[in-house]
Homo-oligomer: A and B are copies of this chain.
């Protein structure tokens, strides 16, 4: 069993497995070159292109897992909510979902069948990896998807989202029920297609209080993990460590930690019967290698060699991240967690 899968299952490893959220992306010149000819959605919708982009970071860095190149918003179009990415900005949804009629009009059955290109891309990547590395499938969580649908794009305060939650709770729950079904089925389809592990991204759920999470999110995310059954899974959120115990309650063998909480404190709060993934601030990759090494080392020290830690960033890698710092960080995780003594980080980077 691969190092990554062993960690997901809470088993001992020779050194800490590492992958980075958004590891295939704009910080890589190879990706930017491909984007000159294809839009992000084009790449998602053409399995050969999605496969090529998924493989790029695996050819360049010593990551312990791949993650299929896709976008959390892909289910929106077949649900009846078309969107596009505005130049240099986030997603723009043409007709946001705000009324009872809007929610009733959403398709939610077998949406994964309309996203067969994702499963096809997963099959291509698995064929290319030949079992050398495991592949991660993923989907956006219902709250995060609902916030895009309702706001019509990214949001700062989640005004319309929370207003629907507070003012029309029945409507909110109907929307979340539809989304949970779509997301659960999509994750299962990705697993059947070959994704060894699936990750649920609840990127924006940290804007909620614990009470709101419990009332408006927990039942729906719980349903998704119930659907997943024994499929190995990672449950990721950012921006509010107070939600961690509730996220664990909803499900996931491994819980993602952003950088706002010390890893040992977060793991303690969760309990050691789940794994943790994290928790380097993506901004640290802009720092000199000596600082990167110190931060990697600090996280590993806090993980204390306990089985079930997957090293990752606390959120997605940023577009301007220097590629050579990514390589340095990934190698530092392996080197430092295997207990190999460290020489000067600066010298090693210089000698690459």
Contacts and interface: CB of A to CB of B under 8 A. Distances in A.
Contacts of A167: 286-288, 291
B287 A260 contact: no
Contacts of A153: none
B320 A209 contact: no
Contacts of A207: 260
Contacts of A206: 260
A159 B210 contact: no
A163 interface: yes
A265 interface: yes
B284 A166 contact: yes
A318 B157 contact: yes
B157 A283 contact: yes
A240 B167 CA distance: 27
B283 A211 contact: no
B283 A163 contact: yes
A163 B325 CA distance: 13
Interface size class of A (residues with CB under 8 A): 20 to 34
A283 B162 contact: yes
A265 B286 contact: no
A261 interface: yes
Contacts of A284: 162, 166
Contacts of A110: none
B239 A242 contact: no
A158 interface: yes
A159 B265 contact: no
Interface string A275-295: 000000111101110010000
Given A206-B260, A211-B262, A291-B167, A286 B241 contact: no
A146 to B, nearest CB: 15
B286 A210 contact: no
A71 interface: no
Given A166-B284, A283-B159, A242 B259 contact: no
A281 B242 CA distance: 15
Contact of A281 (B209, B241, B298): B209
A61 B333 CA distance: 56
Residue picked from A157, A166, A262, A298, most chain B C-beta under 10 Å? A166
A265 B239 CA distance: 17
Nearest to A208: B260
Contacts of A259: 209
Contacts of A286: 159, 162-163, 166-167
Contacts of A288: 166-167
A284 B206 CA distance: 16
Interface in A206-224: 206-212
Interface in A74-108: none
Interface of A: 157-159, 162-163, 166-167, 206-212, 239-242, 259-262, 265, 281-284, 286-288, 291, 298, 318, 320
Given A163-B286, A167-B288, 10 more contacts: A166-B288, A167-B286, A208-B260, A209-B262, A211-B262, A239-B239, A240-B260, A241-B242, A242-B260, A242-B261
